[in-house]
Amino acid sequence: MHLNGKRAKPSQPVRVGDRVEATTPGGVRVVVVKRLLSKRVGAPVAVECFEDHSPAPEPREVRLAMPRRDPGAGRPTKRERRAMDRFRGRDSGG
């Protein structure tokens, strides 16, 4: 999670105008806080309190083309995990 471009913990307080970026299984989610709430509210009210600046999701064909591990294949080895990270562009350089 990033708050205004800096790494933040989930408990980090936010202010109006802050930009929050979070990586989810569906992709990167980017929102700008428009209004703060003092208590929990329903989804229709919550949607009014932020602007969504998330990039458009990638087409379904691209998601399906990603290589997958066979179900039941167990955990990847360290070598396989590093190869997957390189493929995904998350090379740690180490």
The pLDDT of residue 90: 76
Q: Tell me what the mean pLDDT of segment 17-25 comes to.
A: 90
Query: What is the reported pTM?
Result: 0.59
pLDDT at 94 over 60: no
- The average confidence (pLDDT) of the chain is 85
Percent of all residues in the chain with a pLDDT value above 70, rounded to a whole number? 85
DSSP symbols for 23-85: EETTEEEEEEE----SS---HHHHHTTEEE-PPPPPPHHHHHHS--PPTT--SPPHHHHHHHH
> Any idea of the CA torsion for 44, 50, 54, 56, to the nearest 10 degrees?
40
Which two structure tokens, joined as six digits, stand for 76?
């990847």
CATH class of 2-88: alpha beta
Which tens digits make up the pLDDT trace of 60-73? 666 566 667 788 88
